[in-house]
């Protein structure tokens, strides 16, 4: 898309161009992960995060009666750090390793190159879309995937809905413009009443399409998807749009193509959406509860038993970042979606 002065585009198109434009898109031209990048994700903080995910996947596979072949799909693998640890952990479980077909869905060619160098495994297939998957059972992993997809914003003013647009007054000068919107017609198109009891809506058409495709693949064979992301569970949606550059928040409009634009997922909205796609069960918890129930503290004690004090302190400092309620422990939520007949609850089970 070529953008000229006075162009007016919807917010989701603005985000799409900012993040994924083939020439200047943020995720296309740089690797934003890690201390030298713009933000740090959980797999970059501690390998124990990825180990816990690996154990969860293996346990879920066992609950599915250990299928001889199944697909594991990571949606958006970042710089490959999580998958690297997953592959190393899986190698300790030969029967599981033989059964597991590992796939990564990645849009950015630059990040694909980074992932291949980081993981260094010939057992992985990189996908352009989910239609390339075979018909085997599927386990999907989405760690900070959905928050990187473009969203639309709808605002109710009085009794009328408006859709947020961005106007390019000049290259350096952009502004939000809210235009009257036919919500009733839109809801008929998407076959989902997203405006019920809402005054503000964040909705990602791409996320809805991914969830529809994924639920179709897990509908009958009792597979599932694990989503870990910035999220909230309130029924009322809110404006959570933000941009990050060099580990600091910045202006969404001023950092076009040079910052990560993201938002917090409404797990309540996702839950309502998947119920429209079929009879699915969903479990939700905090990252703190999920990781602690999987045994991250016990694992840390084991690996740090003979470490020097400074090294051991670093292990637990990193875990604190992951599970402390004032850091990532509460801000990040975990959602598990599966066939309603599946009773697997590891990481979500009540005490």
pLDDT at 56 over 80: yes
How high does pLDDT run on average in the chain?
Answer: 91
Query: Does 12 reside within a domain?
Result: no
- Minimum mean pLDDT among 22-36, 136-150, 228-242, 285-299: which range? 22-36
Domain extent for 272: 20-150+204-339
Using pLDDT thresholds of 50, 70 and 90, give the confidence band for residue 189: very high
Compute the average pLDDT of residues 215-243: 93
pLDDT at 23 over 90: no
Integer CA distances (angstroms), 288 to 128, 210, 325, 333, 340, in order: 33, 26, 7, 8, 25
Query: Does 335 reside within a domain?
Result: yes
CATH number at residue 67: 3.40.50.12710
Which three-class secondary structure string do you get for the chain? CCCCCCEEEEHHHHHHHHHHCCCCCHHHHCCCECCCCCECCHHHHCHHHHHHHHHHHHHHHHHCCCCCCEEEEEECCCCCHHHHHHHHHHCCCHHHHHHEEEEEECCCHHHHHHHHHHHCCCCEEEECCHHHCCCCEEEEEEECCHHHCCCEEEEEECCEEEEEEEEECCCCCEEEEEEECCHHHHHHHHCCCCCCCCCEEEECHHHHHHHHHHHHHHCCCCCEEEEEEEEECCCCCCCCCEEEECCEEECCCCCCCCCEEECCEEHHHHHHHHHHHCCEEEEEEEHHHHHHHHCHHHHHHHHCCCCCHHHHHHHHHHHHHHHCCCCHHHHEEEEEEEECCCCCCCCCCCC
Query: Does 160 reside within a domain?
Result: no
Q: What count of Cα atoms within 13 Å lies in the side-chain half-sphere of residue 134?
A: 10
Query: Does 157 reside within a domain?
Result: no
pLDDT at 39 over 70: no
Query: Does 351 reside within a domain?
Result: no
Q: What are the pLDDT digits (tens) for 312-327? A: 898 888 999 999 988 8
Query: Does 280 reside within a domain?
Result: yes
Q: How many domains does the chain have?
A: 1
Query: Does 331 reside within a domain?
Result: yes
pLDDT at 171 over 80: no
- Residue 195 confidence (pLDDT): 96
pLDDT at 31 over 90: no
Query: Does 308 reside within a domain?
Result: yes
Using pLDDT thresholds of 50, 70 and 90, give the confidence band for residue 38: low
Compute the average pLDDT of residues 182-186: 97
pLDDT at 351 over 60: no
pTM beyond 0.85:
yes
Q: What are the pLDDT digits (tens) for 62-110? A: 999 999 999 999 999 999 999 999 999 999 999 999 999 999 999 888 8
- Residue 266 confidence (pLDDT): 98
Q: What are the pLDDT digits (tens) for 257-301? A: 788 899 999 999 999 999 988 889 999 999 999 999 999 999 998
- The residue with greater pLDDT, 249 or 35, is 249
């Amino acid at each position: 898309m070529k953008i000229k002065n006075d162009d007016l585009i919807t917010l989701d198109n603005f985000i799409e161009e900012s993040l994924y434009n083939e020439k200047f898109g943020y995720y296309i031209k740089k690797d934003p992960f890690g201390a030298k990048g713009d933000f740090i994700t959980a797999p970059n903080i501690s390998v124990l995060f990825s180990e816990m995910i690996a154990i969860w996947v293996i346990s879920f596979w066992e609950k599915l009666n250990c299928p001889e072949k199944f697909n594991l799909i990571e949606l958006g693998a970042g710089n490959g750090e999580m998958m690297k640890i997953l592959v190393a952990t899986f190698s300790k479980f030969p029967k599981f390793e033989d059964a597991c077909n590992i796939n990564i869905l990645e849009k950015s060619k630059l990040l694909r190159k980074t992932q291949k160098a980081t993981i260094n495994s010939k057992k992985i297939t990189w996908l352009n879309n989910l239609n390339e998957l075979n018909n085997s059972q599927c386990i999907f992993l989405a760690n900070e995937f959905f928050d990187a997809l473009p969203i639309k914003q709808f605002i109710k003013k009085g009794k009328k809905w408006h859709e947020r647009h961005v106007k390019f007054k000049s290259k350096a000068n952009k502004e939000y413009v809210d235009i009257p919107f036919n919500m009733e017609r839109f809801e008929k198109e998407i076959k989902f009443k997203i405006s019920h009891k809402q005054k503000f809506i964040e909705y990602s058409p791409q996320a809805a399409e991914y969830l529809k495709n994924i639920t179709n693949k897990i509908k009958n064979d009792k597979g599932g998807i694990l989503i870990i992301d910035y999220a909230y569970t309130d029924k009322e949606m809110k404006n959570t749009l933000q941009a990050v550059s060099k580990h600091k928040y910045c202006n969404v409009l001023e950092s076009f193509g040079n910052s990560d634009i993201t938002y917090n997922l409404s797990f309540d909205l996702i839950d309502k959406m998947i119920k429209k796609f079929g009879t699915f069960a969903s479990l939700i918890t905090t990252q703190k509860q999920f990781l602690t129930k999987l045994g991250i503290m016990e694992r840390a004690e084991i690996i740090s038993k003979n470490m020097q004090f400074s090294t051991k302190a670093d292990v637990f400092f990193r875990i604190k970042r992951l599970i402390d309620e004032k850091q990532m422990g509460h801000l990040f939520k975990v959602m598990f979606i599966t066939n309603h007949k599946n009773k697997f609850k590891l990481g979500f089970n009540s005490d």
